[in-house]
């Protein structure tokens, strides 16, 4: 009986927050370390719970450790200018590979719906795409940053449409120019 009473008390105290946040949009950004360390599983359960409570979610993931690991595996030198990694063609290939791999891992963890998981049968959908338009950062301290870019525009209307369909929107630190170029972006900029 005590457990039931405690649960009812807890639920009553949580109800105003559930009501207050239903329909609101949360943007959650996290570094690639969370995925690399296997700690994203717990966040995935929390994200799925928030989604089930009607919170609209935009997730932005980083890939820094995954990119640096791939660059090191390939023996590619990593250059920084003003704290920004110079993204040459070899580095861009590593960025694309890392971003794709991390995105798929996140989507898989958000899709957990097994009978023995907290979100059994939830049917959560994840949407990702070219929501971020970017431009090159150009030359800094006499060094061309090549494929390192910055956000020019976020297609907020398209993101809202996905959120209106009850999807979780997942953004990678990659942006696209109007001419089809791909740019490596910082998680914080997105």
Q: Please report the pLDDT score of residue 8 as a whole number.
A: 85
pTM, two decimal places: 0.90
Residue 106 has pLDDT above 80, yes or no: yes
pLDDT, tens digit, 9 for 90 and up, residues 55-65: 999 999 999 99
Radius of gyration of the chain (CA): 19
What is the per-residue DSSP string for 162-180?
HHHTTPEEEE-SEEE-TTS
* Beta-sheet strands, E only, within 32-115: 56-61, 80-81, 84-85
Q: Please report the pLDDT score of residue 114 as a whole number.
A: 52
Report the alpha-carbon distance of residue 137 to residue 112 in Å, rounded.
Answer: 38
Domains within the chain, CATH numbers bracketed: 23-184 (3.40.1160.10)
Residue 115 has pLDDT above 60, yes or no: no
pLDDT, tens digit, 9 for 90 and up, residues 78-99: 999 998 999 999 999 999 999 9
Residue 7 has pLDDT above 90, yes or no: no
Residue 4 has pLDDT above 90, yes or no: no
Look up residue 146 and give its DSSP letter.
Answer: B
């Amino acid at each position: 009986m005590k457990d039931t009473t405690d649960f009812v008390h807890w639920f009553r105290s949580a109800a105003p927050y559930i009501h207050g946040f239903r329909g609101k949009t949360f943007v959650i950004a996290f570094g690639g370390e969370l995925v690399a360390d296997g700690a994203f599983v717990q966040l995935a359960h929390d994200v799925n719970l928030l989604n089930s409570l009607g919170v609209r979610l935009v997730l932005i993931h980083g890939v820094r450790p995954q990119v640096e690991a791939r660059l090191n595996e390939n023996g590619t030198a990593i250059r920084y200018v003003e704290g920004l990694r110079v993204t040459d063609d070899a580095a861009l290939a590593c960025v694309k590979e890392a971003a794709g791999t991390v995105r798929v891992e996140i989507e898989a963890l958000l899709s957990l719906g097994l009978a023995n998981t907290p979100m059994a049968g939830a049917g959560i959908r994840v949407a990702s795409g070219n929501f971020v338009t970017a431009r090159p950062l150009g030359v800094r301290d006499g060094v061309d940053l090549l494929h390192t870019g910055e956000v020019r525009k976020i297609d907020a209307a398209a993101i809202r449409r996905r959120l209106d369909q009850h999807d979780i929107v997942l953004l990678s630190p990659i942006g696209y120019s109007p001419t089809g170029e791909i740019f490596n972006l910082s998680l914080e900029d997105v």
